Amino acid sequence: MQLKFLGAAGTVTGSSYVLTSGSDKSILIDLGMFQGPTEIESLNRESYDYDTNLLSGAVLTHAHLDHCGRLPIILKGGYSGNIWMTPPTRDLTEITLLDAAKIAKDDLPRRQAGGKEILYDRNLATQTILKFETVEYRTPKQIGDFMVTFRDAGHILGSAFLEITDMSPNSEIKKIVFSGDLGNTPEALEQETELVSSADAVVIESTYGDKLHPEGSPVDALTFEINEIEKTGGALLIPAFSLDRTQELMHMIMHLKKEGKVKPDTQVYMDSPMAEKATRVYVNYPKDFNPHIQNDLKIGDIFDFPGLNIISGGKESEGLHASPGPKVIIAGSGMMTGGRIVGHAGYYLPIASTRLLIVGYQGEGTLGRELFEGKKDIRIERMNVKVNATVTSIQTMSSHADQKQLMDWLAHIKNVKKVFITHGEDGPREALSKLISDKLGIRDITLPILNQEVEF
């Protein structure tokens, strides 16, 4: 068996692997977009270091852009097979790819001025979506030489980690587990992360490999933030990923309104067409929610409440700046690398009554990371912006497992001979590696670099 690391090797984004069986048949696992500072994003335009025409199959762990965002390029390389995923991931990935194609089209003049091409257009995204096939959790599916089982990762709706067995007769290492992104279980919406009993090798993410999520209630923190802008008449900006984080916030606010903890007439704006589409997908899969949410579904719409406004067009989004009174604006992108939240930030951050609430991971080199770290002078769309707003964060809302959760999940897997630590910056990877060696006694640990290939 051979494994090639084609993304998220020393970075958090760009997840992609090619796994080759003992009989030299390969499958692709994820093909995500690189996101973050310019030097990281530039990796998207480099040639993919594998002949995708040789693939006998492809699988996808979940619908986040950093796991699925480059999938259309395999069609450019001649791939003609199917791409397998869970049913919710299929629906959400369609939204993600079409949105990415739209953003690329809108950004085309700037890219052309810089001599850069877009990765793919709507037509190629649509052709890719036609290759999607679905498989349910815990239902083994043979893809090429491999038997692949999707297990609930508890990260976002439809997310999976992969249990993969090499069915060819020529490999000593028979079973390998790819964590994908593991959830901060128990999550607000999803089922708990599944466990797997044994494996020969594990590829594990390390986004929070050196951190423990702090104690505290995200509901209490969100309540405080909304109550504060209710007092001052200011705006609460919440940069949020369209998949899962926005739905989690909407559900929390639904309960806060229902319980009278925030005012019924406080206006809440969901300013993300992508999040609106994703929310419609979420309600189609009630069995994938945890028991608490399934009980809420018996009462009514879990993402609707008085004062909710769905914003569609860009002009309507800009018009929010003239709307009076306290308001909550939930908009993408989650790390403030683009999207409507950037326009709102440029307008509202100089205003002292504004509050900015960070509710997710902020990658290195992003505007979100700068604000999270307390920077008071920033650049937005080539303009200098003074930050007079109050910036706070809810780190307990992360949808990624922390160090303890990663260790608990890995410790449950018996007979592990090799561990590969990916999907993390080098500091978290090194910290997790030391802990795995010290606590679990596993010595064969690799921190792969981009395009590295290992043979078992």
304-325: per-residue pLDDT in tens?
999 999 998 889 999 999 999 9
Average pLDDT over residues 295-305: 84
Is residue 71 pLDDT above 80, yes or no?
Answer: yes
Is residue 382 pLDDT above 70, yes or no?
Answer: yes
Is residue 170 pLDDT above 90, yes or no?
Answer: no
Residue 110 confidence class, pLDDT cut points 50, 70, 90: low
Domain with CATH 3.40.50.10890 in the chain: 218-397
Query: What is the pTM for the complete model shown?
Result: 0.93
CA gap 239, 236 in Å, rounded: 10
Least confident of 26-40, 108-122, 397-411: 108-122
The dihedrals phi and psi of 128, each to the nearest 5 degrees, come to: -65, -45
> Please, which residues have CB within 8 angstroms of residue 276's CB and are 6 or more apart in sequence?
270, 310, 312
Mean pLDDT taken over the chain = 94
The helix-helix angle for 273-282 and 245-258 (nearest 10°) equals 80
Residue 114 confidence class, pLDDT cut points 50, 70, 90: low
Q: What percent of the chain has pLDDT over 70?
A: 98
Pick the CATH number of 2-211+399-455 from 1.10.10.60, 3.60.15.10, 3.40.50.300, 3.50.50.60: 3.60.15.10
CA gap 405, 192 in Å, rounded: 12
Assigned CATH class of 218-397: alpha beta
Order across the sheet with 201-205: list the strands: 141-143, 146-152, 160-166, 175-178, 201-205, 418-422, 445-446
Least confident of 174-178, 295-299, 379-383, 405-409: 295-299
CA distances to 152, 204, 221, 318 from 195, rounded to whole Å, are: 9, 13, 31, 46
pLDDT on residue 291: 92
Token digits of residue 425 = 């910056």
- Looking at per-residue pLDDT, the higher value among 364 and 417 belongs to 417
Domain with CATH 3.60.15.10 in the chain: 2-211+399-455
Residue 172 confidence class, pLDDT cut points 50, 70, 90: confident
CA gap 256, 155 in Å, rounded: 24
Is residue 112 pLDDT above 80, yes or no?
Answer: no
